[in-house]
Structure 1
Amino acid sequence: MQKIEFFKHNIDEEDISRVTSVLKSIFLTNANVTKEFEEKFATYLDATHCVAVSSCTAALHLSLLALGIKDGDEVITTPMSFVATSNAILHAGAIPVFVDIEESTGNIDFTLIEAAITPKTKAIMPVHLYGNMCDMKAIKKIANKHKLKIIEDAAHCIEGERDGVRVGELGDVACFSFYATKNITSGEGGAITTNNDEVAKLLYQLRLHGINKDASSRYTDKFAHWDMKVLGWKYNISDIQSALLIGQLEKIEDRLSKREEIARYYEVALNKLGVEYIKVPENTKSARHLFIIKIKNRDKVVSKLQSNGIGVAVNYRAIHILNYYKNSFSFQDSDFPIAKKFGDEVLSLPLYTKLELSQLAYIISNLAKI
């Protein structure tokens, strides 16, 4: 029996050396290395600003606040995501309003958004699930028509593109994750990109208690009292984390090419088996964050694959069937039937650059037996 992990990161000796340099420096927290990463990340995404934070959850929360979302406002989003998406809306005091998903992709069904808009609706939060972008041109038209903000949850989709549009290009902000299993990782971490100067200025303050000077500027600049302009949070990232990210960002496209090769291997093999999988939409460059199959008796299949040493995951069960949301909003399983069925059938196979051909063959062989 082989042992195949669900995920292995790509941190290499260059990344470790960069972290070592930070550990030998004066500043371990948010300082020059973080600024360097923010500049390079913004450049990669053709964005004006990048604000690095402690997680994608923090990024979503601060983005909502910076865009003026407040208590009682409604934000339209998807029930097919990690709970952080809708939790962040609750953290901001707003109300998540779910609409169902596209059966083919798992992404929010943009044709259902307008029917969910009320006088309380202030924003749309699409999720680019598994690395495949939503139809942002269609969502942008709806947002413009109803004067709504767009917060893109791009936790899975740094490298994504659709219909010639990059992640964050049409949204007011885009939010990213550098969690342990993401395409680039610092263990924990996140970022916000925006082209709005005023929003960026506010985000920089909100991530650090609302004060107008970070630790490095207080140390290196000529003495001046700092002030607290707004009530903020402790959501900044450290230079240690940023040092891990810089090198991975430089290699992001090469590693995407490798994951694309693995995904194509899966597709050919699964076509022969007659197993359904999530396909990349037309005119889309996928970030290939997760490879998803849809299968009956999913939980039994998970158990069998794990018993044969294959790491798999469920991404995700529909949010509206989770106890907190059912109890808080009186949701029924049938409220979003496509999301419910989708969440009952999806299974994530290993997808990372260190997978070898023999391991891929072993995974497919076990699926065939099951």
Structure 2
Amino acid sequence: MKVEFYRHSLGEEEERSLINALRGVFLTSGPVTRDFEKAFGEYLDCRHVVGTYSCTTALFLCLKALGIGAGDEVITTPMTFIATANAILEAGAHPVFVDVERSTGNLDVQQLSGAVTERTKAIVPVHLYGHMCDMRRLSDVARARGLHLIEDAAHCVEGSRDGVRPGQLSDAACFSFYATKNMTAGEGGAVATNQPELAERLFILRSHGMDKAAADRYSGAYRHWDMPLLGYKGNMFDLQAALLLPQIGKLAQKLQERDRIRRRYDEAFSHHPLLGLPQTLEGATHARHLYTVWAPAGKRDAFLAGLNREGIGVAVNYRPVHLMQYYRGQLGFRPGMYPVAEEIGERTVSLPFYPGLKDEEVEAVIAAVEKTLSAL
């Protein structure tokens, strides 16, 4: 049986919402984008949401809005998608990596203080796989050191930890609505913040630095606009927002469906002698974006190949950023600098994990994993 790594679950409600947007006046950022920003802010219990073209755009705009650029350092994790660190470079700053927790793959707060220098301006934690970092401790460190805190919450729309949700203890949280995310528009992103001045600055920066968006300029009598800031092109548009709006009300149900699959996988894999599993720590509500296993050391690629032969779609989330060719060649990173991230990066495999996955497909994945492991 062939099992795709991912299939979206967009349906008739999203289709109707998209058609309604197509029949409206605005295709770019307009009333549907505003409706999404309001509804998503209510879901997150954050005062302001700024829709962007992608999570990468969201991270970059946050850094620029907070005045971070050339000569500054930003601390983040090497166990993430390259976009997290790339956004720091694009802003003109320098990424400084901190190794990760062996239990979760998240940034190890205990190692954070040793990475802070007089040039450090911000911390960008990543809620890997959907498990939130320890935002209470991170917030304490950021306040004590006078640092900005920007969450990469691309995996963590539904997550919480110790009563804290994304965006509630940081300057801002950045979200992704990429094709494989729990809530998707194919592409898309957003920033959630409780800081009105930051939100206003982000609204301007996402649209070339103009102080009036298209909907403001062309709804009713024409109004002149000015350019108070040097901005960028990074706005969410109404067609993205139209696909996203109906999904907000389905997040809890979809999380339950993924968690049902997670429980079956855990039952099969949690005591397997050849596999490791990331932990869900006490006090955390996992967003269940990815189901990742850690293959036997030195045999990950053979494990991947075996699953592919069995018709199972797989992914690697992630190989460590600091070992990418560009980061080694241009920034001088080398193997051995962040050993826990490197160990996880050499073992990690993500399995099919989405609400539309049928019971027989789940069982086919389990059977393929067991068959492949027995042949290693």
Q: TM-score, normalised by structure 2?
A: 0.97
Q: Structure 1, residues 255-302: CA drift from partner, whole Å, max 9, x if none?
A: 001101111110011135332211211111000000010012111111
Is the contact made by 2:295 and 2:347 (CA closer than 8 Å) also made in structure 1? yes
1:271-310 alignment runs, 5 A limit = 271-274=270-273, 275-296=275-296, 297-310=299-312
2:12 is the alignment partner of 1:13: yes
User: Counterparts of 1:114-133 in structure 2 under 5 Å?
Assistant: 114-133=113-132
Partner of 2:69, secondary structure, is coil
Distance 2:180 2:5 in 1: 9
Tell me the amino acid that sits aligned with residue 103 of structure 2.
S
Tell me how far apart the structure 2 counterparts of residues 123 and 26 of structure 1 sit (CA, whole Å).
Answer: 40
- Contact persistence 1:151–1:174 (CA under 8 A): yes
CA shift digits 1:36-55 (9 cap, x unpaired): 00000000000010000000
Structure-2 residue corresponding to 1:356: 358
Q: Which residue of 2 is the match for residue 154 of structure 1?
A: 153
Asked if 1:227 corresponds to 2:226, the answer is yes
Does residue 166 of the first structure (1) align with residue 168 of the second (2)? no
Q: Does 1:24 align with 2:26?
A: no
- Would the aligned equivalents of 1:273 and 1:368 in 2 still touch at CA under 8 Å? no
State the alpha-carbon separation in 2 of the partners of residues 85 and 146 from structure 1.
Answer: 22
Distance 1:42 1:174 in 2: 11
> Offset at 1:90?
0.5
CA contact (8 A) 2:216 2:223 kept: no
Tell me if the contact between 1:10 and 1:248 (Cα under 8 Å) persists in the aligned partners: no
- The equivalent of 1:345 in structure 2 is 347
Q: What is the distance in 2 between the residues matched to 1:272 and 1:109?
A: 25
% identical aligned pairs: 48
Give the letter for the 1:365 counterpart.
A
Residue segments in structure 2 that go unaligned for 5+ positions in a row? none
Tell me if structure 1 keeps the 8 A contact 2:123–2:142: yes
Cα drift, residue 197 of structure 1: 0.6
Instruction: For structure 1, list consecutive stretches of 5 or more residues without a partner in the other structure.
Output: none
The 5 Å alignment of 1:315-330 reads 315-330=317-332
What's 2:63 paired with? Answer: 64
Correspondence for 2:334: 332
Q: Distance in 1 between matches of 2:272 and 2:362?
A: 14
Whole-Å separation in 2 of the counterparts to 1:64 and 1:272 = 42
2:180 is matched with 181
Match of residue 104 from structure 1: 103
SS of corresponding position for 1:8: coil
TM-score (norm 1): 0.98
Is it true that 1:135 corresponds to 2:137 in the alignment?
no
In 1: Cα distance, 2:109 partner to 2:272 partner: 32
Query: 2:240 is aligned with what amino acid?
Result: Q
Tell me which residue corresponds to 1:366: 368
* Worse overlay, 41-50 or 358-367: 358-367
One-letter code aligned to 1:343: G
Q: Could you tell me which residue of structure 2 aligns to residue 270 of structure 1?
A: 269
Tell me the amino acid that sits aligned with residue 160 of structure 1.
G
Tell which deviates more after alignment, 171-180 or 275-284. 275-284
Taking the aligned partners of 1:273 and 1:248, their CA distance within structure 2 comes to 36
| Aligned-CA RMSD value | 0.8
Q: Secondary structure, in 3 states, of the residue corresponding to 1:341?
A: helix
User: How many matched pairs?
Assistant: 369
* Deviation, structure 1 residue 25: 1.5
Deviation at 1:221, TM superposition (A): 3.6
Q: Which amino acid aligns with 2:82?
A: V
The letter for the 1-side match of 2:311 is G
